[in-house]
Chain A
Amino acid sequence: MTTSLENLETRQIDRTKPLLEVDRLVMHYKIKAGEVSAIEDVSFTVHQGEAVGLVGESGCGKTSVALSLLRLLPSNAEYVSGEIRFNGEDLLYLSPDEMRQHRWKDIAMVFQGAMNSWNPVYRVGDQIRETLDTHYRGAMSYDQQREHMERLFSSVGLTPEMLDRYPHEFSGGMRQRAVIAMALACSPELIIADEPTTALDVIVQDQILKELKRIQAELGMSIIYISHDIAVIAEVTDSLGVMYAGKLVEYGPTSTIFARPRHPYAYLLLRSTPSITGPRRELAPLEGEPPNLLSPPTGCRFHPRCPFATDKCVTDEPPLEEIGDGHRVACWHHEQVPELEEALHR
Protein backbone atom coordinates (compact mmCIF):
# COMPACT_ATOMS: atom_id res chain seq x y z
CA MET A 1 0.00 0.00 0.00
CA THR A 2 1.47 3.31 -1.01
CA THR A 3 1.23 5.96 1.59
CA SER A 4 2.55 9.42 2.03
CA LEU A 5 3.09 10.73 5.46
CA GLU A 6 5.75 13.30 4.69
CA ASN A 7 3.25 16.11 4.63
CA LEU A 8 1.66 15.21 7.92
CA GLU A 9 3.43 16.81 10.79
CA THR A 10 6.06 14.55 12.30
CA ARG A 11 6.71 15.41 15.87
CA GLN A 12 10.12 15.56 17.47
CA ILE A 13 9.89 13.15 20.32
CA ASP A 14 11.87 12.39 23.40
CA ARG A 15 11.21 8.81 24.36
CA THR A 16 12.17 9.39 27.96
CA LYS A 17 9.67 12.19 28.44
CA PRO A 18 6.33 11.20 29.93
CA LEU A 19 3.29 12.29 27.94
CA LEU A 20 0.54 10.86 30.09
CA GLU A 21 0.87 9.93 33.71
CA VAL A 22 -1.93 8.12 35.43
CA ASP A 23 -1.22 8.34 39.13
CA ARG A 24 -3.08 6.24 41.71
CA LEU A 25 -6.38 6.65 39.93
CA VAL A 26 -9.44 5.45 41.83
CA MET A 27 -12.84 5.60 40.18
CA HIS A 28 -16.17 4.18 41.36
CA TYR A 29 -19.57 3.80 39.74
CA LYS A 30 -22.46 4.65 41.97
CA ILE A 31 -25.46 2.41 41.45
CA LYS A 32 -28.54 1.68 43.48
CA ALA A 33 -27.00 -1.43 44.96
CA GLY A 34 -23.89 0.40 46.13
CA GLU A 35 -20.51 1.44 44.81
CA VAL A 36 -18.71 -0.52 42.11
CA SER A 37 -15.00 -0.15 42.48
CA ALA A 38 -14.21 -0.09 38.77
CA ILE A 39 -10.70 1.39 38.89
CA GLU A 40 -8.68 0.88 42.03
CA ASP A 41 -5.29 2.50 42.43
CA VAL A 42 -4.11 2.30 38.82
CA SER A 43 -0.82 4.01 37.92
CA PHE A 44 1.10 3.91 34.65
CA THR A 45 2.99 6.26 32.40
CA VAL A 46 2.87 6.62 28.65
CA HIS A 47 6.04 8.18 27.24
CA GLN A 48 6.25 10.14 24.03
CA GLY A 49 6.12 7.82 21.06
CA GLU A 50 5.32 4.81 23.20
CA ALA A 51 2.66 2.20 22.54
CA VAL A 52 1.10 0.87 25.71
CA GLY A 53 -1.34 -2.02 25.89
CA LEU A 54 -3.96 -2.74 28.55
CA VAL A 55 -5.34 -6.27 28.64
CA GLY A 56 -7.82 -8.02 30.85
CA GLU A 57 -11.13 -9.80 30.88
CA SER A 58 -14.49 -8.13 30.32
CA GLY A 59 -15.37 -5.89 33.20
CA CYS A 60 -11.80 -5.56 34.48
CA GLY A 61 -11.96 -1.81 34.09
CA LYS A 62 -9.79 -1.33 31.02
CA THR A 63 -12.48 0.50 29.09
CA SER A 64 -13.26 2.57 32.17
CA VAL A 65 -9.60 3.63 32.24
CA ALA A 66 -9.83 4.70 28.60
CA LEU A 67 -12.98 6.68 29.20
CA SER A 68 -11.48 8.24 32.34
CA LEU A 69 -8.56 9.59 30.36
CA LEU A 70 -10.96 11.45 28.09
CA ARG A 71 -13.37 12.21 30.92
CA LEU A 72 -16.14 10.55 28.96
CA LEU A 73 -17.44 8.44 31.83
CA PRO A 74 -21.16 8.08 32.44
CA SER A 75 -22.69 10.47 34.94
CA ASN A 76 -22.76 7.97 37.80
CA ALA A 77 -18.99 7.65 37.74
CA GLU A 78 -17.04 9.34 40.47
CA TYR A 79 -13.33 10.05 40.53
CA VAL A 80 -12.39 9.24 44.11
CA SER A 81 -8.72 10.13 44.03
CA GLY A 82 -5.63 10.17 41.87
CA GLU A 83 -4.36 12.27 39.02
CA ILE A 84 -4.26 12.01 35.25
CA ARG A 85 -1.49 14.30 34.03
CA PHE A 86 -1.21 15.02 30.34
CA ASN A 87 1.99 16.95 29.59
CA GLY A 88 2.06 17.80 33.27
CA GLU A 89 -1.48 19.19 33.37
CA ASP A 90 -4.01 17.39 35.55
CA LEU A 91 -6.95 16.58 33.31
CA LEU A 92 -9.24 15.98 36.26
CA TYR A 93 -9.10 19.65 37.25
CA LEU A 94 -9.98 21.04 33.84
CA SER A 95 -13.35 22.60 33.20
CA PRO A 96 -15.56 20.73 30.73
CA ASP A 97 -14.75 23.39 28.12
CA GLU A 98 -11.01 23.09 28.60
CA MET A 99 -11.34 19.31 28.46
CA ARG A 100 -13.20 19.58 25.18
CA GLN A 101 -10.22 21.48 23.78
CA HIS A 102 -7.95 18.59 24.61
CA ARG A 103 -10.23 15.90 23.35
CA TRP A 104 -9.57 15.02 19.74
CA LYS A 105 -6.92 17.71 19.35
CA ASP A 106 -4.47 16.19 21.82
CA ILE A 107 -6.08 12.89 22.75
CA ALA A 108 -8.16 11.06 20.17
CA MET A 109 -9.98 7.80 20.53
CA VAL A 110 -10.79 4.89 18.24
CA PHE A 111 -13.66 3.04 19.86
CA GLN A 112 -14.68 -0.51 19.58
CA GLY A 113 -17.19 -0.61 16.76
CA ALA A 114 -16.51 3.04 15.91
CA MET A 115 -16.82 2.06 12.29
CA ASN A 116 -20.55 1.84 12.84
CA SER A 117 -20.72 5.36 14.21
CA TRP A 118 -20.54 7.11 10.84
CA ASN A 119 -23.64 9.09 10.03
CA PRO A 120 -25.09 7.31 6.99
CA VAL A 121 -26.51 10.40 5.30
CA TYR A 122 -23.31 12.47 5.07
CA ARG A 123 -20.25 11.86 2.95
CA VAL A 124 -17.33 10.56 4.97
CA GLY A 125 -15.20 13.54 3.92
CA ASP A 126 -17.79 16.00 5.15
CA GLN A 127 -17.89 14.30 8.52
CA ILE A 128 -14.14 14.63 8.90
CA ARG A 129 -14.36 18.23 7.74
CA GLU A 130 -16.78 18.90 10.57
CA THR A 131 -14.12 17.82 13.07
CA LEU A 132 -11.57 20.07 11.43
CA ASP A 133 -14.04 22.95 11.53
CA THR A 134 -14.61 22.44 15.22
CA HIS A 135 -10.97 22.41 16.18
CA TYR A 136 -9.37 24.72 13.62
CA ARG A 137 -12.15 27.23 13.29
CA GLY A 138 -11.22 29.49 10.41
CA ALA A 139 -7.59 28.46 10.44
CA MET A 140 -7.89 26.26 7.38
CA SER A 141 -9.41 27.18 4.06
CA TYR A 142 -11.75 24.79 2.30
CA ASP A 143 -9.00 23.72 -0.07
CA GLN A 144 -6.48 23.29 2.71
CA GLN A 145 -8.95 21.08 4.55
CA ARG A 146 -9.46 19.00 1.45
CA GLU A 147 -5.73 18.65 0.97
CA HIS A 148 -5.25 17.68 4.61
CA MET A 149 -8.01 15.09 4.43
CA GLU A 150 -6.58 13.58 1.27
CA ARG A 151 -3.25 13.19 3.03
CA LEU A 152 -5.00 11.61 6.01
CA PHE A 153 -6.82 9.18 3.79
CA SER A 154 -3.77 8.12 1.89
CA SER A 155 -1.92 7.68 5.18
CA VAL A 156 -4.44 5.07 6.30
CA GLY A 157 -4.46 3.31 2.93
CA LEU A 158 -7.61 4.79 1.44
CA THR A 159 -7.84 6.65 -1.84
CA PRO A 160 -8.68 10.39 -1.79
CA GLU A 161 -11.78 9.81 -3.94
CA MET A 162 -13.30 7.85 -1.09
CA LEU A 163 -13.75 11.10 0.83
CA ASP A 164 -16.73 11.75 -1.44
CA ARG A 165 -18.38 8.43 -0.72
CA TYR A 166 -21.03 7.56 1.81
CA PRO A 167 -20.28 5.20 4.71
CA HIS A 168 -22.41 2.38 3.32
CA GLU A 169 -20.14 2.21 0.29
CA PHE A 170 -17.25 1.25 2.56
CA SER A 171 -16.50 -2.22 3.86
CA GLY A 172 -16.05 -2.72 7.61
CA GLY A 173 -12.30 -2.52 7.36
CA MET A 174 -12.41 0.61 5.23
CA ARG A 175 -14.77 2.28 7.67
CA GLN A 176 -12.42 1.49 10.53
CA ARG A 177 -9.53 2.93 8.50
CA ALA A 178 -11.58 6.07 7.99
CA VAL A 179 -12.16 6.21 11.75
CA ILE A 180 -8.42 6.13 12.25
CA ALA A 181 -8.02 8.91 9.68
CA MET A 182 -10.56 10.91 11.65
CA ALA A 183 -8.65 10.27 14.86
CA LEU A 184 -5.48 11.53 13.15
CA ALA A 185 -7.23 14.62 11.78
CA CYS A 186 -5.95 17.02 14.42
CA SER A 187 -2.55 15.31 14.81
CA PRO A 188 -3.15 14.22 18.39
CA GLU A 189 -0.25 13.35 20.62
CA LEU A 190 -2.08 10.36 22.03
CA ILE A 191 -4.55 7.93 20.50
CA ILE A 192 -6.58 5.59 22.65
CA ALA A 193 -7.60 2.53 20.65
CA ASP A 194 -10.24 0.50 22.52
CA GLU A 195 -10.60 -2.90 20.83
CA PRO A 196 -9.90 -1.21 17.48
CA THR A 197 -10.11 -4.41 15.44
CA THR A 198 -12.41 -6.63 17.43
CA ALA A 199 -15.26 -6.74 14.92
CA LEU A 200 -12.98 -7.29 11.92
CA ASP A 201 -11.74 -10.36 10.13
CA VAL A 202 -8.23 -11.58 10.85
CA ILE A 203 -6.72 -10.37 7.60
CA VAL A 204 -8.21 -6.90 7.93
CA GLN A 205 -7.29 -6.84 11.61
CA ASP A 206 -3.72 -7.60 10.71
CA GLN A 207 -3.65 -4.88 8.05
CA ILE A 208 -5.09 -2.26 10.38
CA LEU A 209 -2.79 -3.08 13.26
CA LYS A 210 0.20 -2.81 10.97
CA GLU A 211 -1.11 0.47 9.59
CA LEU A 212 -1.56 1.89 13.08
CA LYS A 213 1.87 0.79 14.12
CA ARG A 214 3.49 2.38 11.08
CA ILE A 215 1.60 5.66 11.44
CA GLN A 216 2.42 5.81 15.11
CA ALA A 217 6.12 5.35 14.46
CA GLU A 218 6.20 7.84 11.61
CA LEU A 219 4.21 10.57 13.31
CA GLY A 220 5.76 10.09 16.70
CA MET A 221 2.45 9.57 18.43
CA SER A 222 1.72 7.59 21.55
CA ILE A 223 -0.98 4.94 21.55
CA ILE A 224 -2.84 3.11 24.26
CA TYR A 225 -4.25 -0.17 22.96
CA ILE A 226 -7.01 -1.83 24.92
CA SER A 227 -8.00 -5.41 24.23
CA HIS A 228 -9.16 -8.61 25.84
CA ASP A 229 -6.95 -10.60 23.47
CA ILE A 230 -3.34 -10.53 24.54
CA ALA A 231 -2.24 -11.96 21.18
CA VAL A 232 -3.65 -9.02 19.26
CA ILE A 233 -1.59 -6.40 21.04
CA ALA A 234 1.54 -8.47 21.52
CA GLU A 235 3.02 -7.30 18.26
CA VAL A 236 2.16 -3.63 18.42
CA THR A 237 2.97 -2.47 21.93
CA ASP A 238 6.16 -1.49 23.76
CA SER A 239 4.72 -1.82 27.25
CA LEU A 240 1.88 -3.88 28.55
CA GLY A 241 -0.37 -3.55 31.57
CA VAL A 242 -2.47 -6.46 32.76
CA MET A 243 -5.64 -5.48 34.60
CA TYR A 244 -7.74 -7.64 36.85
CA ALA A 245 -10.92 -6.59 38.65
CA GLY A 246 -10.14 -2.88 38.47
CA LYS A 247 -6.51 -3.22 39.47
CA LEU A 248 -3.30 -3.13 37.50
CA VAL A 249 -1.62 -6.38 38.51
CA GLU A 250 1.39 -6.37 36.22
CA TYR A 251 3.08 -3.74 34.10
CA GLY A 252 6.28 -3.78 32.10
CA PRO A 253 7.93 -4.04 28.71
CA THR A 254 5.82 -6.25 26.45
CA SER A 255 8.67 -8.63 25.66
CA THR A 256 9.45 -9.10 29.37
CA ILE A 257 5.85 -9.85 30.25
CA PHE A 258 5.53 -12.37 27.47
CA ALA A 259 8.80 -14.05 28.30
CA ARG A 260 8.54 -13.91 32.10
CA PRO A 261 5.04 -13.15 33.35
CA ARG A 262 5.27 -12.86 37.12
CA HIS A 263 1.66 -12.37 38.13
CA PRO A 264 -0.27 -15.65 38.19
CA TYR A 265 -3.15 -13.99 36.36
CA ALA A 266 -0.94 -12.70 33.55
CA TYR A 267 0.73 -16.07 33.43
CA LEU A 268 -2.58 -17.92 33.15
CA LEU A 269 -3.91 -15.43 30.64
CA LEU A 270 -0.94 -16.14 28.40
CA ARG A 271 -1.22 -19.85 28.91
CA SER A 272 -4.89 -19.85 27.99
CA THR A 273 -4.35 -18.12 24.65
CA PRO A 274 -4.34 -20.56 21.76
CA SER A 275 -1.62 -20.10 19.18
CA ILE A 276 -1.03 -21.45 15.70
CA THR A 277 2.72 -21.36 15.94
CA GLY A 278 5.03 -23.66 17.79
CA PRO A 279 4.09 -27.04 19.18
CA ARG A 280 0.52 -27.56 20.21
CA ARG A 281 0.71 -26.86 23.92
CA GLU A 282 -1.72 -27.99 26.50
CA LEU A 283 -3.84 -24.93 27.33
CA ALA A 284 -4.59 -24.02 30.92
CA PRO A 285 -8.09 -22.66 31.34
CA LEU A 286 -8.61 -19.84 33.81
CA GLU A 287 -11.09 -21.28 36.24
CA GLY A 288 -13.87 -19.32 37.84
CA GLU A 289 -15.47 -15.99 37.13
CA PRO A 290 -14.27 -12.44 37.65
CA PRO A 291 -15.50 -11.07 40.97
CA ASN A 292 -18.46 -8.80 41.49
CA LEU A 293 -16.92 -5.37 42.02
CA LEU A 294 -19.73 -4.28 44.29
CA SER A 295 -17.99 -6.31 46.97
CA PRO A 296 -14.52 -7.17 45.68
CA PRO A 297 -12.56 -9.94 47.40
CA THR A 298 -10.36 -8.95 50.32
CA GLY A 299 -6.59 -8.89 50.00
CA CYS A 300 -5.46 -9.71 46.51
CA ARG A 301 -8.50 -9.51 44.26
CA PHE A 302 -7.31 -12.52 42.28
CA HIS A 303 -6.99 -14.86 45.25
CA PRO A 304 -10.27 -16.78 44.76
CA ARG A 305 -9.11 -17.93 41.31
CA CYS A 306 -5.38 -18.11 41.98
CA PRO A 307 -3.77 -21.56 42.09
CA PHE A 308 -0.95 -20.17 44.26
CA ALA A 309 -3.04 -18.29 46.82
CA THR A 310 -2.07 -18.49 50.48
CA ASP A 311 -3.59 -17.06 53.65
CA LYS A 312 -1.61 -13.87 53.21
CA CYS A 313 -3.27 -13.26 49.84
CA VAL A 314 -6.68 -13.40 51.48
CA THR A 315 -5.90 -10.79 54.10
CA ASP A 316 -3.24 -8.45 52.68
CA GLU A 317 -3.36 -6.52 49.47
CA PRO A 318 -0.09 -6.84 47.52
CA PRO A 319 1.41 -3.54 46.31
CA LEU A 320 2.53 -3.03 42.73
CA GLU A 321 6.26 -3.48 43.24
CA GLU A 322 9.11 -2.86 40.85
CA ILE A 323 11.01 -6.10 40.30
CA GLY A 324 13.51 -4.66 37.85
CA ASP A 325 13.72 -2.90 34.53
CA GLY A 326 10.33 -1.23 34.61
CA HIS A 327 8.65 -4.53 35.40
CA ARG A 328 6.11 -4.10 38.17
CA VAL A 329 4.00 -6.84 39.73
CA ALA A 330 1.35 -6.92 42.43
CA CYS A 331 1.71 -10.40 43.87
CA TRP A 332 3.06 -11.71 47.16
CA HIS A 333 4.43 -14.76 45.41
CA HIS A 334 5.90 -13.31 42.24
CA GLU A 335 9.29 -14.79 43.04
CA GLN A 336 7.82 -18.26 43.31
CA VAL A 337 5.71 -18.08 40.17
CA PRO A 338 8.42 -19.71 38.00
CA GLU A 339 8.65 -22.67 40.37
CA LEU A 340 4.93 -22.93 40.66
CA GLU A 341 4.72 -22.74 36.91
CA GLU A 342 6.85 -25.84 36.68
CA ALA A 343 4.63 -27.56 39.19
CA LEU A 344 1.66 -26.76 36.99
CA HIS A 345 3.36 -28.20 33.95
CA ARG A 346 3.92 -31.51 35.60
Chain B
Amino acid sequence: MMGLTWYILGILSALLGYLMYEYSLKHPLDRISWTGLVLGVVLVLFSIAWGVGSVLEGVPRAASMGLLLFGFSGVIILTLTGRYITTKGKDTKI
Protein backbone atom coordinates (compact mmCIF):
# COMPACT_ATOMS: atom_id res chain seq x y z
CA MET B 1 0.00 0.00 0.00
CA MET B 2 2.82 2.40 0.87
CA GLY B 3 4.47 1.50 -2.42
CA LEU B 4 1.31 2.48 -4.30
CA THR B 5 1.21 5.73 -2.32
CA TRP B 6 4.79 6.57 -3.34
CA TYR B 7 3.92 5.76 -6.94
CA ILE B 8 0.89 8.06 -6.95
CA LEU B 9 2.80 10.80 -5.15
CA GLY B 10 5.56 10.49 -7.72
CA ILE B 11 3.08 11.01 -10.55
CA LEU B 12 1.48 13.91 -8.68
CA SER B 13 4.88 15.53 -8.06
CA ALA B 14 5.81 15.27 -11.72
CA LEU B 15 2.42 16.60 -12.80
CA LEU B 16 2.47 19.53 -10.40
CA GLY B 17 6.08 20.32 -11.34
CA TYR B 18 5.11 20.34 -15.01
CA LEU B 19 2.06 22.54 -14.40
CA MET B 20 4.13 25.04 -12.42
CA TYR B 21 6.72 25.12 -15.18
CA GLU B 22 4.04 25.66 -17.84
CA TYR B 23 2.47 28.41 -15.77
CA SER B 24 5.82 30.10 -15.28
CA LEU B 25 6.36 30.21 -19.05
CA LYS B 26 3.16 32.21 -19.52
CA HIS B 27 3.42 34.20 -16.30
CA PRO B 28 7.05 34.52 -15.21
CA LEU B 29 7.37 33.88 -11.47
CA ASP B 30 9.82 35.57 -9.14
CA ARG B 31 11.82 33.77 -6.43
CA ILE B 32 9.24 34.33 -3.70
CA SER B 33 6.50 32.79 -5.86
CA TRP B 34 8.66 29.79 -6.78
CA THR B 35 9.67 29.23 -3.16
CA GLY B 36 6.08 29.47 -1.94
CA LEU B 37 4.75 27.13 -4.63
CA VAL B 38 7.44 24.50 -4.22
CA LEU B 39 7.30 24.59 -0.42
CA GLY B 40 3.50 24.45 -0.38
CA VAL B 41 3.31 21.55 -2.83
CA VAL B 42 6.06 19.61 -1.03
CA LEU B 43 4.34 20.09 2.34
CA VAL B 44 0.96 18.95 0.99
CA LEU B 45 2.47 15.88 -0.69
CA PHE B 46 4.52 15.14 2.45
CA SER B 47 1.40 15.33 4.59
CA ILE B 48 -0.37 12.85 2.31
CA ALA B 49 2.55 10.41 2.58
CA TRP B 50 2.66 10.91 6.35
CA GLY B 51 -1.08 10.41 6.66
CA VAL B 52 -1.12 7.19 4.66
CA GLY B 53 1.90 5.85 6.57
CA SER B 54 0.29 6.63 9.92
CA VAL B 55 -3.04 5.05 8.95
CA LEU B 56 -1.21 1.95 7.74
CA GLU B 57 0.61 1.60 11.05
CA GLY B 58 -2.71 2.09 12.84
CA VAL B 59 -2.15 5.46 14.50
CA PRO B 60 -4.94 7.67 13.10
CA ARG B 61 -4.07 10.44 15.53
CA ALA B 62 -0.60 10.72 14.02
CA ALA B 63 -2.22 10.84 10.58
CA SER B 64 -4.54 13.69 11.52
CA MET B 65 -1.77 15.57 13.31
CA GLY B 66 0.47 15.18 10.27
CA LEU B 67 -2.25 16.41 7.94
CA LEU B 68 -2.94 19.31 10.26
CA LEU B 69 0.66 20.37 10.79
CA PHE B 70 2.17 19.73 7.38
CA GLY B 71 -0.84 19.70 5.06
CA PHE B 72 -2.54 22.72 6.57
CA SER B 73 0.76 24.66 6.59
CA GLY B 74 1.19 23.73 2.93
CA VAL B 75 -2.31 24.90 2.03
CA ILE B 76 -1.77 28.21 3.85
CA ILE B 77 1.54 28.77 2.08
CA LEU B 78 -0.04 27.93 -1.29
CA THR B 79 -2.96 30.28 -0.59
CA LEU B 80 -0.66 33.14 0.42
CA THR B 81 1.57 32.50 -2.58
CA GLY B 82 -1.46 32.43 -4.89
CA ARG B 83 -2.64 35.73 -3.51
CA TYR B 84 0.86 37.14 -3.85
CA ILE B 85 1.05 36.05 -7.50
CA THR B 86 -2.37 37.42 -8.41
CA THR B 87 -1.84 40.68 -6.53
CA LYS B 88 1.53 41.11 -8.14
CA GLY B 89 -0.05 40.44 -11.55
CA LYS B 90 -2.66 43.14 -10.92
CA ASP B 91 0.04 45.57 -9.75
CA THR B 92 2.02 44.92 -12.90
CA LYS B 93 -1.01 45.56 -15.11
CA ILE B 94 -1.62 48.88 -13.35
User: Are A and B part of the same complex?
Assistant: no
Instruction: Enumerate chain A interface residues (CB-CB to B < 8 A).
Output: none
